[in-house]
Structure 1
Amino acid sequence: MKNNSEIDILELVRYVWANRKKIIICTLVSALVGSIVAFSIPREWETVVKVAPEGAGSQGMSSSVGGLMDMVSGGFGSRTASADGISATLYPEVIGSRPFLLEFADIRVPFRGDTITMFDYIINEQKKTWWSYIFSFPNKALGWTKAILGGAGVDGKDDEQAMPVEFVELTGRHLAFVGVMKRLTSAQIDAKTKRLIEIKVLMQEAKISAIVADSMVAKFNRYIVDYKTSKARRDVAVTEKILEQARRKYYEVDSSYAAAADRNTGLSRSSSQIKLDRLEAEKNIAFSVYQQAATRLESARLKVQEDTPVVTIVEPAVTPMAAKSPNKPVIIAIFLFIGGLSAVIFSIIKFLKTSNEGENS
């Protein structure tokens, strides 16, 4: 049995060697197919940006504002402080969210000596592989059929292009835009530091990749600032209204006191003095409320500055010099390996089949 096995292995090696020309041809054909595939895939450039979002913890001023409103308007409601709703671990989800990505539809990028919107670039100017047209043909044929039967445009470009992206019910083309942007952009928290957020943008144009990455950082910074300071800015707006009410109230009482004092100059009646004393007390109270409102307003404005986070750009957007994908040598090597291995396996199967037929006969 051992000798037979050794003889079989030797025979197998001889058989495979005898078919080496076929194996080489199959391997070369696979390499050719791999080359066609590798050179058919559009080149893409990647821009990597690293940012470190920072923000001070915020404690609301709602209780103080509510107390001040009670003093001025007799208990006109009060609000309860609330903690931040979005933690730093959710920032990558924010960057990949639909509303965030839709904001890029209207930004303009350079393309072929002109500028176009990102929406137009993603939907109409993206290069595709030749096989994607083959696979998408059934859906296009179905769309053409529906268009002919329904009397609409072939792909509804006119209607969908005109619809603003702010609409809740997005068009198919806007959903496609978001889908492509999600595939071409990514954000994740650095596993080592747990503080840095790494943003990657992959585009078919190197400059557009850098522009989108830089815009993504700017929009992310604006989003974080708006979110973190929204409550403090609302407190400022409320306090400004309270201050204006207190100012008007103080001016009214002060004018009434001055007019009463002028009318009662030189009079020594008790009723006149009592009225003046009452008006003076009201004036002092109104002035005290006015002073408190002014102090609260300054505190509220300082709170906005305190709550404003700083997004530090650790690694800025730089136009990439070399394409990230496709990796042509790797693709060709994979096809080369698969083709050669398949040819060898086919030869082994053919040898075993021939050997079994010889034994049976």
Structure 2
Amino acid sequence: MTDDTKNNQAPLQDDEIDLIALAKTLWDNRKFIIITVGIFMVLGVAVALLTPKEYTATTTMVPQVSKGSTKMGGLSSLAAMAGFNLNDMTGNSGELSPMVYPQIVKSVPFQLELMNTTFHFPGQNEPLTFYTYFNGVKKPGALELVRKYTIGLPGVIIKAIKGDENPVTSDQSTNDYIALTKDQDEIRKILNETVNLEVNDKDGYLTLSATTIDPKLAAQLTTKAQALLQNTITEFKIEKAKVQLEFIQERYNEKKNEFENAQTTLAEFRDRNKNVTSALARTTEEKLQNEYQLAFEVYSQLAQQLEQARIQVKEDTPVFSVLKPVTVPLEDNTSGATTLIIFTFLGGVVAVGWIFLKEFLRTVKDRWGQERENKQKTV
């Protein structure tokens, strides 16, 4: 019993000695730790001051549920509890799933439209497009210049030696493809990181956001992206109904002219033959009357179809219920205090890690030397 107690106490005493030794090592190197943490704090303050503030404006929307997707009713809800999405399996051919909306926001036509839209940029008296601002007005910040002439210096030298390559010209004369210039592609990448759309499939709502260096610009960009997204989805959903409406409208205009001509011809004939009672006149009048009646029936039917087509376009037009409208953000995304805390913690970790590593290497070196001395004594 006494031996077991002694055996159990021995490791505890060794552990206490190790902890005391570690604490003593840190205390002996306290000056190094303080200096290291101070350097990292200065770096943290520099990063917090040089990093431009970013603001994010958001809006939350709920897309309209189509009639086709509500036919399943409770069966769809029960299937969703089991992990199946019957709405996707039984969707209409003309229906656009909200899961595809982020791909629309990231698409080239969408970003080109945003790129060529005017906004009120900070420090500018007149509205400018994204392309004009980032291609000729915006000046690189301090961090961008440091990154360009340090990490990106080899690329700058290579570009200066080779010179500017021939730019890719944009050819919009065909619908088969879209060709971008290098400047357009660079700005498209900026927009790709600036504007984002998240789909909450569980709760059924969309969150559209834009992050820029100016709060009002972020709100403008979010508002424009929201309107552009709604227009794009609307054009897709009403495309079929709109084509049908245009076709019926053309036929309606043709038959309307035919009906009016038949009506005018019949009226003129009756005015010219008021007192004529011949069989030929009555036969001609009946013929004109039949042509008028046929034109009227076709015209009347097309008028009804035209009205139905207009109603169909209205029904197919999606409606987005805005749960959270776009507001100008008041607080930036990055916090200087948070950056300073992170760098301070990182400085402490680096200092302590370096001390322990140095002690570990010294211990390994001492043991290595002892092993060599023991081998030499044994020989």
**TM-score of the aligned structures, taking structure 2 as reference length:** 0.75
Matches within 5 A, 1:284-295: 284-295=293-304
Matches within 5 A, 1:223-262: 223-258=232-267, 262=272
Matches within 5 A, 1:272-291: 273-291=282-300
Kept after mapping to 2: 8 A contact 1:31/1:335? yes
1:132-180 deviation line (CA, Å, top 9, x unaligned): 22223322322222227x7x7xxx7xx98x9989982111111111111
Partner secondary structure for residue 114 of structure 1: coil
Structure 1 residue 275: Cα displacement: 4.5
Q: How many pairs are equivalent?
A: 327
1:207-253 deviation line (CA, Å, top 9, x unaligned): 11111111112222222333333332322222121112112222343
Partner of 1:170: 180
Structure 1 residue 55: Cα displacement: 6.0
Partner secondary structure for residue 244 of structure 1: helix
Gaps of 5+ in 1: 59-81
User: Which structure has more RCO (C-alpha within 8 Å, separation ≥ 6)?
Assistant: 1
Is 1:328 aligned to residue 341 of structure 2?
A: no
| Of 311, 316, 322, the match for 1:307 | 316
Kept after mapping to 2: 8 A contact 1:47/1:210? yes
1:65-99 deviation line (CA, Å, top 9, x unaligned): xxxxxxxxxxxxxxxxx832522222222122221
Partner of 2:47: 37
Q: 1:313 to 1:4 in 2, by over 3 A?
A: closer
Give the alignment's Cα RMSD to 1 decimal.
3.1
Partner of 2:94: 84
Matches within 5 A, 1:105-254: 105-110=115-120, 111-115=122-126, 116-123=128-135, 124-125=137-138, 127-128=140-141, 129-130=143-144, 131-133=146-148, 134-147=150-163, 168-190=178-200, 192-194=202-204, 196-254=205-263
Q: Which moved more, 1:2-11 or 1:34-43?
A: 2-11
Q: 1:191 to 1:329 in 2, by over 3 A?
A: farther
Structure 1 residue 200: Cα displacement: 1.0
Kept after mapping to 2: 8 A contact 1:55/1:308? no
Q: Distance in 2 between matches of 1:38 and 1:91?
A: 35
Matches within 5 A, 1:1-16: 2=11, 7-16=17-26
Q: 1:138 is aligned with what amino acid?
A: P
Identity %: 21
Partner of 1:70: none
Q: 1:27 to 1:302 in 2, by over 3 A?
A: same
Structure 1 residue 35: Cα displacement: 2.2
Q: 2:125 is aligned with what amino acid?
A: D
1:285-328 deviation line (CA, Å, top 9, x unaligned): 11110111111112222222222222222212211112112x32
Q: 1:8 to 1:244 in 2, by over 3 A?
A: closer
Q: 2:349 is aligned with what amino acid?
A: L
Q: Distance in 2 between matches of 1:117 and 1:164?
A: 19
**TM-score of the aligned structures, taking structure 1 as reference length:** 0.79
Q: 1:191 to 1:292 in 2, by over 3 A?
A: closer
Q: Which moved more, 1:47-56 or 1:249-258?
A: 249-258
Kept after mapping to 1: 8 A contact 2:56/2:329? yes
Runs of 4+ in 1 over 6 A off after TM superposition: 162-167
| Of 328, 350, 354, the match for 1:319 | 328
Structure 1 residue 45: Cα displacement: 0.9
Q: 1:8 to 1:315 in 2, by over 3 A?
A: closer
Q: Distance in 1 between matches of 2:199 and 2:319?
A: 17
Partner of 1:296: 305
Structure 1 residue 205: Cα displacement: 1.0
Q: 1:357 is aligned with what amino acid?
A: K
Partner secondary structure for residue 135 of structure 1: coil
